[in-house]
């Protein structure tokens, strides 16, 4: 679900080279029918895969969400109308909690991760020795498996773990260590910090690529007009980063709404539902508790919400002309 | 041109194959006979799956039984495949949906009613002389038919050091006279005063099936239960009645008063290193603790919280897939009947440190036989309670785990248990009562 929409703005970034004009000339040169069938052959793998693993599952989920289908059952699924949706909003407080947690997570992660990524990108974009080293260091968490990262951070968050002993050291022993992941008020913030740490390097690289497309002459001109560093950022860098910004906003939002692995490995939704998310809840109800129909209903709600959020973002960041 | 055409044709085949595979789903029962049994060179092959790929001690005994069985007669040949436990249930469900289950498969006790109800497994059909000899908790029953049988059961106990209890003037409980709730609470407070930071290791750092296995017997000892076993249609009153609330308050108190910890390492290391005074843990950790503690080790019954001590019953058992038929089915039954020999049961018990399921097996066992060092465990099996024998158990299990974890973490006990009841009841209604 993330792939097709993530690709869309990326095309926008390179749209200035207008690939649309090159394609017809290629086809015309090779001539009608042959070119056409070659083109179909080339889009076929992507189309078939998208159809099989995106369109079909989505359609199945829509169908299943109106039934009481189970993973294991001798009885055929029965149409139950809107029961699953009514249950989600009225009789399943964990679902409502998941909804709130998911949006809390996204509301914090999207601006902080995007901002931090930009800051780091500007820092490693300096023409100084050693920036390559820092680029690599910031990027290492991204290429590490999220499962491995989650397991390591689970140890670090324990009462006698690294986080507590670090705070203890810098406060000269005034700190009383807490079990970060076992406390309902600290568990979600702890996962937010870890998730940002893990993913920020990726967005730093995207920002960096955006920064490097801004021509040096613009900065030179700004400096000749007497602009200071902040004015240069405000009037040259930021407008130049606009397409990158849209791409980053959309990808972080979608990734943040889909939060799952960290929860599954670190807290299993607890303590007291303080870290359960929509995707985690759908997997728990739909697969572990075998309530396929209800799980499909939750997934469908999730799908519509993501679609809604992405549409609003597209609308707000649209080209005004 | 020609090559392109072929490529497109090949690509077009992919989804068709995938759809064909989907089409097979659900028709598992119709063609199982050929899938599970093939005749090769006069011998009928009987396929067998186990969950014990990560457990060499267990696998060794199975391999021994299979090679003994295969060479003992000329009609059948048992062929085995072993899976790691984590992926096992998924493999079974996937195989059942695609109609590819083997004849023989093992399964965890509480899942038996679910699979029997779903039609994955068929009544066992082996001699009753064998199943009647077994511990009641080693036999899986659904709608008055025996669907599974196992070679052993596990048991939980409280491990303690005799020297520590005596030094703190704590009575050593017996099976006939276990600790009462007040005695147990007082003992924990005394031990906390004696310098143990968290005197009881209750195993709360673990997750998954351990939670209902270990903590629902405590609930049952209080007088509550996971579901109303008179109807199996609701958890109302059982999981949120006054007894269940008392259990919840007590369980929460263990953690808020610092009598037990919710972190630590899985296993019994804390007890072996004398960092905790008491450990609520399973028979499988007993030999390690015996090595660490020696003669000082006490294996004690769990406390009586009102309705007598209770422990969880039901471990891994063997069943026969419903798709198994013809000569392969006869072979599967012959193999199972062959495998319940006392010497094999004793071998499982001694290699894995689990309680033998028959008297004869117990007598042959080095650890559990007369005078064996783990003999006290065999007396505990009388307290065993099966987890509810209903297909709803899959939901009950995860719901109870979440609820108990929330209670541990300080949530309102009444609210949590009421919600757990609602979740369980919603699932039962969704399934039209699971045939009850």
Mean pLDDT computed over A233-259: 91
Give the number of C-alpha atoms closer than 13 A to the C-alpha of residue B414, restricted to the C-beta side: 1
Query: How far, in Å, CA of B283 to CA of B270, rounded?
Result: 16
In-domain check, residue B221: yes
Search chain A and give the residue with CA nearest B18. Answer: A52
Q: Do the chains contact at A289 and B395, CB–CB below 8 Å?
A: yes
Q: What angle do CA B20, B22, B28 make, to 5 degrees?
A: 105
List residues bridging with B79 in a β-sheet. Answer: B47
In-domain check, residue B355: yes
Where is average pLDDT lowest: B25-29, B195-199, B408-412?
A: B25-29
Say yes or no: B405 and B264 in one domain. Answer: yes
Say yes or no: B114 and B229 in one domain. Answer: no
pLDDT in tens, B323-374: 999 999 999 999 999 999 999 999 999 999 999 999 999 999 999 998 889 9
Report the pLDDT value the prediction gives residue B169, as an integer from 0 to 100. Answer: 94
Q: Is B394 on the interface with A (CB under 8 A)?
A: yes
Q: Please state the domain count of chain B.
A: 2
Say yes or no: B141 and B52 in one domain. Answer: yes
pLDDT in tens, A126-182: 878 888 888 888 889 999 999 999 999 998 998 888 888 888 888 887 888 788 888
Say yes or no: B175 and B252 in one domain. Answer: yes
Where is average pLDDT lowest: A49-63, A240-254, B86-100?
A: B86-100
Which chain B residues have a beta carbon less than 8 Å from that of A87? 426
Report the pLDDT value the prediction gives residue B34, as an integer from 0 to 100. Answer: 40
pLDDT in tens, A186-211: 999 999 999 999 999 999 999 999 99
Report the pLDDT value the prediction gives residue B237, as an integer from 0 to 100. Answer: 93
Mean pLDDT computed over A48-68: 92
In-domain check, residue B57: yes
Q: Is A30 on the interface with B (CB under 8 A)?
A: no
Query: How many CB pairs lie under 8 A apart between chains A and B?
Result: 94
Say yes or no: B49 and B70 in one domain. Answer: yes
Q: Do the chains contact at B406 and A290, CB–CB below 8 Å?
A: no
Report the pLDDT value the prediction gives residue B24, as an integer from 0 to 100. Answer: 36
Report the pLDDT value the prediction gives residue A33, as an integer from 0 to 100. Answer: 62
On average, the pLDDT of chain A sits at 85
How does DSSP assign B315-368, residue by residue?
A: -EEEEEETT--HHHHHHHHHHHHHH--HHHHHHHHHHHT-EESSHHHHHH-TTT
Say yes or no: B249 and B350 in one domain. Answer: no
pLDDT in tens, B271-308: 999 999 999 999 999 999 999 999 999 999 999 999 99
In-domain check, residue B327: yes
Q: In this model, does residue A23 exceed pLDDT 70?
A: no
Which chain B residues have a beta carbon less than 8 Å from that of A284? 398
In-domain check, residue B413: yes
Report the pLDDT value the prediction gives residue A203, as an integer from 0 to 100. Answer: 92
Q: Do the chains contact at B7 and A41, CB–CB below 8 Å?
A: yes
Confidence check on the interface: ipTM exceeds 0.90, yes or no? no
On average, the pLDDT of chain B sits at 87
In-domain check, residue B422: yes
Q: In this model, does residue B36 exceed pLDDT 70?
A: no
The beta-carbon neighbor of B15 closest among A52, A72, A290 is: A52
Residue B46's SS3 state is strand
Mean pLDDT computed over A67-72: 85
The sign of the CA dihedral B28, B31, B33, B38 is negative
Say yes or no: B258 and B247 in one domain. Answer: yes
Q: In this model, does residue B399 exceed pLDDT 60?
A: yes
Q: In this model, does residue A25 exceed pLDDT 70?
A: no
Q: Tell me the pLDDT band of A10, cut-offs 50, 70 and 90.
A: very low
Which chain B residues have a beta carbon less than 8 Å from that of A51? 15
Mean pLDDT computed over B24-34: 37
In-domain check, residue B365: yes
What b/e readout covers B232-260, taking b as 16+ CB neighbours within 10 angstroms? bbbbeebbbbebbbbbbebbbebbeeebb
Q: Do the chains contact at A44 and B410, CB–CB below 8 Å?
A: no
pLDDT in tens, B160-175: 999 999 999 999 999 9
The beta-carbon neighbor of B263 closest among A44, A72, A159 is: A159
- CATH annotation of A92-316: 1.10.3720.10
Q: Tell me the pLDDT band of A32, cut-offs 50, 70 and 90.
A: low
Q: Do the chains contact at A68 and B431, CB–CB below 8 Å?
A: yes
pLDDT in tens, A81-93: 898 999 999 888 8
Domain extent at residue B220: 156-313+392-435
Where is average pLDDT lowest: B9-13, B242-246, B400-404, B411-415?
A: B9-13
The minimum CA-CA distance between B186 and chain A, rounded to whole Å, is 27
The minimum CA-CA distance between B314 and chain A, rounded to whole Å, is 20
Say yes or no: B291 and B404 in one domain. Answer: yes
pLDDT in tens, B85-105: 878 888 888 898 888 899 999
Report the pLDDT value the prediction gives residue B41, as an integer from 0 to 100. Answer: 60
The beta-carbon neighbor of A74 closest among B14, B117, B409 is: B117
Say yes or no: B414 and B330 in one domain. Answer: no
Q: In this model, does residue B380 exceed pLDDT 70?
A: yes
Q: What are phi and psi of B203, to 5 degrees?
A: 85, 20
Report the pLDDT value the prediction gives residue B330, as an integer from 0 to 100. Answer: 94
- B69: domain CATH number? 3.40.190.10
Q: Do the chains contact at A38 and B419, CB–CB below 8 Å?
A: no
Say yes or no: B297 and B185 in one domain. Answer: yes
The minimum CA-CA distance between A113 and chain B, rounded to whole Å, is 30
Q: Higher pLDDT residue, B267 or B138?
A: B138
Q: Do the chains contact at A271 and B405, CB–CB below 8 Å?
A: yes
Q: Where are the domains of chain A?
A: 92-316
Mean pLDDT computed over A217-222: 91
The pTM is what? Answer: 0.78
Given a contact cutoff of 8 angstroms between Cβ atoms, the answer to whether B103 and B32 are in contact is no
In-domain check, residue B173: yes
Q: Tell me the pLDDT band of B40, cut-offs 50, 70 and 90.
A: low
For residue A137, CA distances in Å to A110, A130, A157 come to 22, 11, 22
Given a contact cutoff of 8 angstroms between Cβ atoms, the answer to whether A291 and B430 are in contact is yes
Q: Which of B294, B114, B303 is closest to B202 using CA atoms?
A: B303
Q: Is A67 on the interface with B (CB under 8 A)?
A: no
Mean pLDDT computed over A306-321: 84
Q: In this model, does residue A76 exceed pLDDT 80?
A: yes
Say yes or no: B229 and B194 in one domain. Answer: yes
The beta-carbon neighbor of B409 closest among A80, A159, A184 is: A184
Say yes or no: B420 and B274 in one domain. Answer: yes
Q: In this model, does residue B223 exceed pLDDT 70?
A: yes
């Amino acid at each position: 679900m993330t792939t097709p929409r993530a690709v869309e703005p990326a095309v926008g970034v390179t749209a200035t080279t207008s690939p649309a004009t090159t394609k017809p000339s290629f086809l015309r040169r090779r001539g009608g029918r042959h070119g056409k069938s070659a083109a179909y052959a080339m889009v076929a793998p992507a189309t078939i895969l998208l159809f099989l693993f995106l369109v079909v599952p989505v359609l199945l989920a829509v169908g299943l969400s109106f039934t009481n289908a189970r993973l294991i059952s001798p009885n055929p699924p029965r149409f139950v109308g809107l029961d699953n949706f009514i249950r989600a909003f009225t009789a399943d407080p964990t679902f409502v909690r998941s909804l709130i947690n998911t949006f809390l997570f996204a509301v914090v992660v999207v601006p902080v991760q995007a901002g931090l990524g930009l800051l780091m990108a500007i820092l490693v974009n300096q023409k100084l020795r050693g920036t390559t080293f820092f680029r690599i260091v910031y990027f290492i968490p991204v290429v590490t498996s999220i499962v491995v990262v989650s397991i390591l951070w689970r140890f670090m968050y324990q009462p006698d773990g690294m986080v507590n002993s670090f705070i203890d050291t810098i406060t000269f022993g005034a700190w009383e260590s807490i079990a970060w992941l076992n406390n309902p008020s600290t568990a979600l913030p702890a996962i937010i910090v870890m998730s940002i740490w893990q993913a920020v390097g990726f967005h730093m690289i995207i920002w960096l690529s955006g920064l490097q497309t801004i021509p040096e002459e613009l900065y030179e001109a700004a400096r000749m007009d007497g602009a200071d560093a902040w004015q240069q950022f405000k009037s040259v860098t930021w407008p130049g980063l606009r397409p990158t910004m849209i791409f980053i906003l959309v990808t972080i939002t979608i990734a943040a709404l889909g939060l799952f692995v960290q929860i599954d490995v670190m807290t299993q939704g607890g303590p007291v539902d303080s870290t359960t998310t929509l995707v985690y809840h759908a997997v728990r109800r739909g697969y572990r508790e075998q309530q396929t129909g209800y799980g499909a209903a939750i997934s469908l709600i999730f799908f519509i919400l993501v679609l809604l959020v992405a549409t609003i973002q597209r609308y707000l960041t649209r080209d005004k002309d | 041109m020609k090559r392109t055409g072929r490529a497109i044709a090949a690509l077009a085949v992919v989804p068709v194959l995938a759809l064909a595979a989907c089409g097979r789903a659900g028709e598992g029962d119709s063609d199982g006979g050929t899938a599970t049994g093939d005749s090769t060179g006069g011998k009928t092959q009987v396929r067998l799956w186990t969950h014990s790929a990560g457990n060499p001690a267990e696998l060794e005994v199975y391999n021994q039984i299979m090679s003994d069985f295969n060479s003992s007669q000329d009609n059948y040949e048992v062929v085995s495949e072993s899976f790691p436990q984590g992926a096992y249930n998924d493999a079974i469900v996937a195989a059942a949906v695609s109609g590819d289950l083997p004849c023989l498969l093992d399964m965890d006790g509480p899942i038996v009613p679910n699979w029997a109800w779903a039609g994955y497994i068929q009544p066992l059909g082996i001699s009753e002389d064998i199943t009647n000899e077994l511990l009641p908790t080693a036999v899986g029953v659904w709608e008055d038919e025996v669907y599974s049988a196992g070679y052993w059961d596990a048991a939980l106990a409280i491990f303690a050091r005799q020297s520590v209890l005596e030094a703190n003037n704590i009575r050593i409980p017996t099976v006939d006279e276990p600790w009462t709730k007040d005695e147990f609470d007082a003992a924990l407070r005394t031990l906390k005063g004696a310098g143990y930071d968290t005197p009881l290791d209750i195993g709360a750092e673990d997750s998954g099936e351990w939670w209902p296995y270990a903590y629902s017997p405590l609930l049952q000892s209080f007088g509550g239960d996971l579901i109303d076993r008179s109807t199996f249609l609701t958890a109302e009153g059982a999981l949120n009645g006054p007894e269940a609330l008392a259990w919840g308050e007590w369980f929460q108190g263990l953690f808020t008063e610092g009598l037990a910890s919710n972190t630590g390492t899985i296993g019994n290391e804390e007890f072996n290193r004398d960092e905790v005074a008491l450990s609520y843990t399973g028979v499988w950790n007993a030999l390690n603790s015996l090595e660490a503690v020696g003669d000082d080790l006490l294996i004690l019954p769990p406390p009586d919280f009102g309705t007598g001590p209770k422990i969880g019953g039901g471990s891994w058992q063997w069943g026969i897939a419903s798709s198994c038929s013809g000569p392969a089915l006869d072979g599967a039954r012959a193999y199972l009947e062959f495998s319940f020999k006392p010497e094999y049961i004793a071998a499982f018990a001694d290699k894995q440190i689990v309680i033998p399921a028959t008297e004869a097996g117990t007598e042959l066992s080095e650890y559990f036989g007369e005078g064996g060092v783990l003999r006290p465990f065999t007396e505990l099996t009388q307290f065993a309670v099966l987890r509810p024998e209903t297909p709803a158990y899959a939901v009950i299990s995860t719901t109870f785990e979440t609820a108990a974890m929330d209670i541990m973490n300080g949530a309102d006990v009444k609210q949590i248990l009421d919600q757990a009841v609602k979740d369980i009841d919603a699932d039962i209604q969704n399934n039209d009562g699971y045939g009850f």
